[in-house]
Amino acid sequence: MSSMTSRRDAAPLSAFDIDRRAALKLLASGMALSLASCGKPPEEIVPYVDQPERVVPGIPLKFATTLDMAGYGRGVIVTSVEGRPIKVEGNPRHSASLGATDVFAEASVLSLYDPDRSKAPRGPKGIASWDAFGDALRTQMEKEKKRQGAGLRLVSGRMTSPTLLRQINALLKAFPQARWYRYEPISDDNEREGAVMAFGRPLTTLPRIGEASVALSLDDDFLGAGPRQIANGRAFISARRAENDPDRFLRLYAAEPALSLTGANADHWLAIRPELIRNLAIAISAILRGEKPNAPLPPAAQRFATVAAADLKSKTGKAIVTAGRTQPPDVHALCHTINGMLHAPIDYIEPVDPAGKHGEALHAFADDLSNNRVETLLILDRNPVYDAPHELGFNGLFPKLPFSAHLGLYDDETAAICHWHLPLSHTLESWSDLRAHDGTASIVQPLIRPLYDTRTAHQVIALISGALSPSSYDLVRETWQPQAGGDFESWWRQVLHDGVIAETRHVAVSAQPKAVDIKPAPNPTEAVLVLAPDPSIWDGRDANNAWLQECPKPLSKETWGNTLSISPRDAQQLGCQTGDVVALTRKNAKVEAVVRVDANQADSVYATTLGHGRRKAGAIGNGIGFDVYPLRAIDEPWLIGGVTIAKTGKSRDIPTTQGQFRLEGETTEFLPRVSLAALAAGLKGPPFAEEPKPTLYPPVHNDDPYAWAMVIDTAACIGCNACVIACQAENNVPVVGPDQILRSRVMHWLRVDTYTDANGGIQGFQPVPCMHCEHAPCEPVCPVAASVHDREGLNVQVYNRCIGTRFCQSNCPYKVRRFNWFGYADDEEYANLGEPPIKAQHNPDVTVRARGVMEKCTYCVQRISRARREAEKENRTIKDGEVVTACQAACPTRAISFGNLKDTGAHVNALRQHKQHYELLGHLGTRPRTTYLARLTNPNPDFDEAKS
Amino acid sequence: MSSLALDRVETPSQDTRRWVLENGQSDEAVNRIVSAPLLQRHKWTWRTWWIAFAVSGAMTVMMIVSASWLLIRGVGVWGNNTTVVWGFGIANYVWWIGIGNAGTLISSMLLLMRQHWRASINRFAEAMTLFAASIAGLFPILHLGRPLYFYWLTPYPNTMLLWPQWRSALIWDFWAILSYLLFSIVFWYVGLIPDLATLRDRARSALPRKIYGAFALGWRGSARHWHFYEVYHKAMAALAVPLVVSLHSVVGLDFAASLMPGWAETIFPPYFVVGAMYSGFAMVVVLAALVRWGFRMQPIITVNHFDVMAKVMLMASIVMGLSYATEWFDAWYGGDHAERSMLTFMFSGSYSPIYFIMLFCNVLAPQAFWLAAARRSVAAVFVIAVIINVGMWLERLLIILNTLSHTHLPSMRHLFFPTIWDWTLLFGSLGFFAFMFLIFVRLVPSVSMHEVRHILHEGERP
């Protein structure tokens, strides 16, 4: 009980014992602090590109830093306007970014300004101070010191930060009895153990997809969301360029229980039960060895195995087989064996995340808790009460602890039952360092002084170790000082400038896989629930980010929540349809899920995503979707058996942005697909060979030096949505909320259309911004000339002239215009998005639109304008590549090109001469400036029917 | 003199007199029947009027509440969405303006075509026009995202030197409505002057005499007055015909001057004019039946009137049917994929039940008028006229919903679901119309006395 007393002693000012004078003092100091809080951090930080003599108001600065994705670093360059970071872009020098971003990186800038972020420490008696926590912690640590930390437990996520690792290791040395548990709800335990089985040690596999000619994914969503998405996407598309030698053009096979982004981009896709993927792998390995496959497989899978294996074998040295996280370790091990046989282009590296299995860590932690071995618990930015399997019963175990503290951005589910909640600084407010999935290290440098009274994990660990006012900056520099050699200061400047520390990528090691003994699985009978990370909010940590919640999922186009996808046959058997609510039960856990019937799904497989159904995420994320963590098993986190499903009789509307109507065969017209073979044979026929229709209109001609145009290569679009969120961040595009999405009032300026074949199979993705038609149908119909053309060929919208007749949108064949039905950014914001901190994210170069006004894609006119100012200063025209639109900058596969048609050497001019080039709805005579390259496929002629 | 010459018809007076029953066939009888409700209030029971007035007043309040909420919260309170950017607002506008067409058509086109029976109905038909056109004019303003700036549609001088964009059909529309409204007011008022003088002369108390007298502008019924009146009225009627045709043609151009399948059709202007005449006529029939019943005007508004109006509606329904068929044929014959899939959507898409109801209301139901018994039953004509009005409203709605919902790119195809605010504004506007009409019949002679008197003496030589 002594700890209770000490905590009471250390209690900070309570709201009740402040007198008037004290209140006024606090008010004054609060105002002074808030005035001073925006600005550069006190330590020197180095701008990336521009190095002005001083900060010029209105001129944005760019700084390289690193963002965290599931513990791995992703190098980015952040634009800062007068001390406010407003936009994240990729860092071309960083191997996990390659100059591009993903939705999470783009949206991180919104999380920074989230009004729901924790602003001050909270103690057992309410709002407290860091000093109060320090006092309480010191008393607690005195006790731990005596018993060598026997009661001290640290819980964190995946840890790659060299500084943090150094600090924690030092701490564990000082407290040898203490334990540190690391876990991620989306772990790579199966890959790790598979590598141990094959190589005897936990090597990480880095396939060089860019060098492959054939790839087979066994439920491995390597193009889907995750720390490697950008790198994999870039490599995948670089291997699928039409310019390549047709022999080198990558052909992708995918076998999956439920369609993923990887499956949607595959040339051949097989729907298969997850347990049978093992048999598929066994069959392929047998065929490769020249044996007769005898693992039981359905006929379609047998044929798939035969054709894929033959194709893999024919491309030995350039063929890769990968297995996903749902597959058990021995399948991973078998893949290593197969890759060994194929001499696959793969790098094996020592793991960047050196910890053991995450599942075991959680188990050991729960064990400690239930055996009362934990006295002092510190949770570093993890939320086990929400995202650990509920079987472990953390919810009941936590309150029994004598001392528990939670460090995090939000006062979340775990924080709620800890004694202390400590506000964590956002990555954009922190000094730190991180390693990417391939080991590349980079520095996290802050863009802004912490908005609130927050601290970094470095500071908190240092606090535990007894430091009084630790500085993350000093801690990070201390880590790197020995490695920098000679002149540390200039090394440091260089590293901050580059955003990456040279030669830190883990070197590939040579490894020979052992043959593994693997038994085929019997034909499964029971239904199985397959889980996957959510493409928008990953494991739920970003659930309070409104951009991510409203980002349409790449395949289903759902926003604001998750659904349980089931096959049409299962739906028929259950007697339910899309929108019905079913109850999923496993042991004591019951979850109510909304059904979505999906043709791209194996029978008896139910699939859904993690991360939704948060109870204490904040105003945005609370109660959105349903939480499937309760159903998760400790040792089987991905494929969950023993689940019963039952109708509840309820139904719910699913907020989707597309798919209300069935396609009527438009796919071939709007998203034409051409096979590599047809391209090689010199393709003919519409829409490629379409001659321009005769017109009475004179050609658009002026002597302006610019005619802006965009070409989007649909063959390169993997559907990742990075462009959608990049556009939202750049152009102050408001969030409308689920109710407005249900009313079909999405505001995204750029949407990604998906097209399907007659059976519902995804045929590809088509990003659709404004077409900036030369004969724009929206212009002549506007009664007040708010929609007009400028001399550079931009179709511009004059917001303050618009009176909202909406005639422009009704006459737009592409329906790319967006109307402010309510004041989405004008005092009628969704949830807490109208609160002051959010406004700090707004790009000052872009108008925030009022209610009743039409808006749309501007080709990032503010960026063109900036480039023009720079060019005019130097008395020249804008060079090709000088203007990069936000969507273009974000695209991991460089599917979007933008440039000046009057510049004969411009890349867009070359692309417009391309054989795959076509105009969307060109026959209407709109003469769009945004045009497309047709989707490219590479089906195996050995298959009778390609994935058509 | 030429206008008088126009009037000199050779038909026997017996033919024009058949539009008035025996007990109304004198100047005094006509004046008595029409003016009694206005000048002998105490002898008249107004109970039904008060009930109707209260109901329509309540609906008017509902409209005001609905419009106020719309202005406070924004146009998002309606069911419109990013794809179906237009909805009830524009449908209501087109429907009301269509009804607004009929009054002028009756008073001018039928006048020029020497359809004498129009005399009994033209006064309240013109009033209907006025009210309907005023209500119609409200909707395009209420539907704006920023209604406070509606005046930007006018070419007013401003420091920015900004003018409206003359290529937009909405500007044409704006001028068409405005000129039509001004015209209707003048036409209606001038036609009223002789009757206001009659009321002045028959008034028993001072106040009505003064009020009617002031508005009668000193009309004495001299031959010179009548001469000017006739010249003026004919000239206005001649002007009205092209105006009324252009008005709804321009409304049709709002849609036709576009790129959207189902809208970009050359048939739209004439098809809209016929549709407008059709729905307006149906509304006149409804009002005629009510006025006849409410003010015991059976001697003046006879079954013969309903018979002939039913024939007009029958004709119009056939023209509408032909227009629909032309649309279908063109969409098919044109061979354009978007047009054809649009057609398929009309017949099998989500709105197809409404489309079939619309076809029944506008094309099938009026075929009952082939039977003389149906034409000569006021109840039957009334019911079918109401059905036609419902059908025409559905047609206006579907023109918008079908094309916008089924847009070119399938990803953006979305359905429209109206909200409570859509419905309250629609029914509120109906209530407001009834409200204004009830005030009109209470204050102004609802049938043109001088024109009915005129047909009693048609062909007579002085």
For A207-256, the pLDDT digits (tens) are 999 999 999 999 999 999 999 999 999 999 999 987 777 778 999 999 99
Q: What is the mean pLDDT of residues A60-84?
A: 92
**How many C-beta neighbours within 10 Å does residue B307 have?**
18
Residue B395 has pLDDT above 60, yes or no: yes
Give the closest-approach CA distance of B11 to chain A in angstroms.
51
B408 CB neighbours in chain A (<8 A) are 813-815, 921, 924
Contact A324, A219 (CB under 8 A): yes
Residue A29 has pLDDT above 90, yes or no: no
Q: In the numeric block, which tokens belong to residue A717?
A: 């679009």
Is some CB atom of chain A closer than 8 A to the CB atom of B344? Answer: yes
pLDDT tens digit sequence for A101-146: 999 999 999 999 999 999 999 999 999 999 999 999 999 999 999 9
| Shortest Cα distance, chain B CAs vs residue A263, angstroms | 21
DSSP-derived 3-state class of residue A377: strand
- The average confidence (pLDDT) of chain B is 89
Q: How many CB pairs under 8 A join A and B?
A: 164
With CB atoms and an 8 Å threshold, state whether B170 touches A661. Answer: no
Question: Of how many residues is chain B composed?
Answer: 462
Q: Which residues of B touch A815 (CB under 8 A)?
A: 82-83, 407-409, 412
Percent of chain B with pLDDT strictly greater than 70: 95
Closest CA to A85 of A424, A442, A428: A428
Determine phi and psi for A406, rounding to 5 degrees.
-125, 125
The tens digit of pLDDT for each residue in A351-406 reads 998 778 888 999 999 999 999 999 999 999 999 999 999 888 888 888 888 999 99
- For A406-420, A752-766, A877-891, B38-52, which range has the lowest pLDDT when averaged over its residues? B38-52
Q: Contact, A540 vs A534, CB < 8 A?
A: yes
Yes or no: domain A189-349 corresponds to CATH 3.40.228.10: yes
Looking up tokens 């989306």, which residue turns up?
A186
> Two tokens at B71?
């202005």
- Whether the per-residue pLDDT at A735 is higher than 70: the answer is yes
How high is the pLDDT of residue A38? 58
Q: A745 and B76: CB-CB below 8 Å?
A: yes
Task: Classify strands A204-207 and A346-349 as parallel, antiparallel or unpaired.
Answer: antiparallel
The pLDDT of B100-112, averaged and rounded, is 81
- Tell whether the model's pLDDT for residue B216 goes beyond 90: yes
- CB contact under 8 Å between B411 and A768, yes or no, is yes
Q: DSSP letter for A558, please.
A: B
- CA gap A509, A530 in Å, rounded: 34
Tokens of A438: 């391939």
Q: How far apart are CA A348 and CA A326, in angstroms?
A: 21
The answer to whether the CB of A885 falls within 8 A of the CB of A912 is no
Where exactly are the structural domains of chain A?
A: 189-349, 528-651, 667-776+859-937
Which option is the CATH number for A667-776+859-937: 3.10.180.10, 3.30.70.20, 3.40.50.10490, 3.40.630.10? 3.30.70.20
Mean pLDDT value across residues A821-827: 92
**How far does the CA of residue A607 sit from the closest CA of chain B (Å)?**
24
* Contact check, Cβ <8 Å, B259/A664: no
Q: In terms of CA atoms, which chain B residue is nearest residue A785? A: B165
pLDDT band at A1 (very low <50, low <70, confident <90, very high): very low
At A905, is the secondary structure helix, strand, or coil? coil
Q: How far is CA A601 from CA A269, A515, A608, A629, B29, in A?
A: 11, 32, 11, 22, 83
End-to-end CA distance of chain B: 16
Query: What amino acid is encoded at A179 in this protein?
Result: R
- Residue of B162, B411, B413, B416 to mutate for A, most A C-beta atoms under 10 A: B411
Within the 166-205 window of chain B, which residues sit less than 8 Å (CB to CB) from chain A?
167-171, 174
Distance from CA of B347 to the nearest CA of A (A): 15
State the SS3 of chain B: CHHHHHHCCCCCHHHHHCCCCHHHCCHHHHHHHHHHHHHCHHHCCCHHHHHHHHHHHHHHHHHHHHHHHHHHHCHHHCCCCCCCCCCHHHHHHHHHHHHHHHHHHHHHHHHHCCCHHHHHCHHHHHHHHHHHHHHHHHHHHHCCCCHHHHHHHCCCCCCCCCCCCCCCHHHHHHHHHHHHHHHHHHHHHHHHHHHHHHHHHHCCCHHHHHHHHHHHCCCCCCHHHHHHHHHHHHHHHHHHHHHHHHHHHHHHHHHHCCCCCCCCCCCHHHHHHHHHHHHHHHHHHHHHHHHHHHCCCCCCCCHHHHHHHHHHHHHHHHHHHHHHHHHHHHHHHHCCHHHHHHHHHHHHCCCHHHHHHHHHHHHHHHHHHHCHHHHCCHHHHHHHHHHHHHHHHHHHHHHHHHHHHCCCCHHHCCCCCCCHHHHHHHHHHHHHHHHHHHHHHHHCCCCCHHHHHHHHCCCCCC
Indicate the residue of B80, B144, B171 with minimum beta-carbon distance to A803: B144
Distances (CA, A) of A835 to A45, A634, A731, B24: 29, 40, 19, 74
- Is the CB of A214 inside 8 Å of chain B's CB atoms? no
Q: Which residues contact B173 (CB under 8 A, 6 or more apart)?
A: B140, B250, B251, B253, B254
DSSP, collapsed to helix, strand or coil, labels residue A472 as helix
* pLDDT tens profile B222-270: 999 999 998 998 898 888 888 888 888 998 998 998 889 889 888 999 9
- Specify the residue for token string 């204004």: B436
pLDDT at A946 > cutoff 70: no
Handedness of CA A12, A152, A462, A107 (dihedral sign): negative
Three-class DSSP category at A263 = helix
pLDDT at position A5:
39
Percent of chain B with pLDDT over 90: 59
Q: Count other C-beta atoms under 10 Å from residue B114's C-beta.
A: 13
| Residues A491-497, mean pLDDT to the nearest whole number | 93
Query: Are residues A801 and B174, on separate chains, in Cβ contact within 8 Å?
Result: no
The Cα angle at residue A388 between residues A147 and A644, in degrees rounded to 5: 145
> How much is the pLDDT for A870?
93
C-alpha distances (whole Å) from B283 to each of B130, B382, B459 are 13, 9, 31
- Cα A399 from Cα A228, distance rounded (Å): 38
Residues of B in contact with A813 (CB under 8 A): 259-260, 407-409
Instruction: Give mean pLDDT, residues A345-354.
Output: 91
Q: Helix, strand or coil for residue A755?
A: strand
Distance from CA of A760 to the nearest CA of B (A): 14
Q: Across the interface, do B75 and A804 touch by the CB < 8 Å criterion? A: yes
- Give me B142's structure tokens: 């209420």
Residue B70 vs residue B461, higher pLDDT: B70
Pairing of strands A441-444, A564-566: unpaired
B258 in reach of chain A (CB within 8 A) = yes
Binned at pLDDT 50, 70 and 90, residue B461 comes out as low
Give the global pTM: 0.91
Contact status of B85 with chain A (Cβ, < 8 Å): yes
pLDDT digits (tens, 9 = 90+) for B354-364: 999 999 999 99
Residue A777 distance to chain B (closest CA, Å): 7
- CB-nearest to A783 from B153, B260, B344 is B153
- The pLDDT value recorded for residue A757 is 85
Give φ, ψ of A29 to 5 degrees: -70, -35
pLDDT band, residue B2 (cuts 50/70/90)? very low
Kindly report the CATH class assigned to A528-651.
mainly beta
CB contact under 8 A, A802 and B414: no
What's the confidence (pLDDT) of residue A13? Answer: 46
Residue B338's closest chain A neighbor by CA? A666
Q: Each residue of A554-582: pLDDT tens digit?
A: 999 999 999 999 999 999 999 999 999 99
Residues in Cβ contact with A942 at an 8 Å cutoff, skipping those fewer than 6 apart: A307, A310, A311
For residue A328, pLDDT over 50 is answered with yes
Distance from CA of B269 to the nearest CA of A (A): 17
Half-sphere exposure of A233 (CA within 13 A, CB side): 30
Contacts of residue A611, Cβ cutoff 8 Å, sequence gap at least 6: A387, A533, A534, A537, A538, A539, A540, A541, A542, A543, A562, A625
pLDDT, position B455: 79
Nearest-angstrom CA–CA distance, B117 and B301: 9
- Measured at the CA of A383, the angle between CA A377 and CA A388, to 5 degrees, comes to 100
Q: Is residue A513 within 8 Å of A340, Cβ to Cβ?
A: yes
| ipTM entry | 0.91
Q: Given CB atoms, is B253 within the 8 Å cutoff of chain A?
A: no
pLDDT band at A681 (very low <50, low <70, confident <90, very high): confident
The b-or-e profile of B149-160 (16+ CB within 10 A means b, else e) is: bbebbeeeeeee
Q: Helix, strand or coil for residue A822? A: coil
Contact A661 B413 (CB under 8 A): yes
**Computed from CA positions of residues A535, A538, A543, A548, in that sequence, does the dihedral angle turn out positive or negative?**
negative
A764: DSSP letter: E
CA distance A660 to A674: 27
pLDDT band per the 50, 70, 90 thresholds, residue A944: low
Residue B273 has pLDDT above 50, yes or no: yes
Quick one: closest CA in B to A921, which residue?
Answer: B408
Which residues of chain A from 917 to 936 reach within 8 Å of chain B, CB to CB? 920-921, 924, 926
pLDDT at position A15 over 70: no
Residues in chain A within 8 Å Cβ distance of B146? 802-804, 850-853
Q: Are B414 and B84 in contact (CB under 8 A)?
A: yes
Matching residue, tokens 């006149």: B284
Of B146, B254, B408, the CB nearest to A852: B146
Q: Are B248 and B102 in contact (CB under 8 A)?
A: no
**Can you tell me the distance from the alpha carbon of A748 to that of A551, in angstroms, rounded to the nearest whole number?**
9
Give A469's contacts (C-beta < 8 A, 6+ positions apart).
Answer: none
pLDDT at residue A262 above 70?
Answer: yes
Q: Do A810 and B260 touch (CB under 8 A)?
A: yes
Of B81, B260, B415, the CB nearest to A745: B81
Residue A16 pLDDT level (bands cut at 50, 70, 90): low
Beta carbons of A719 and A261 less than 8 angstroms apart? yes
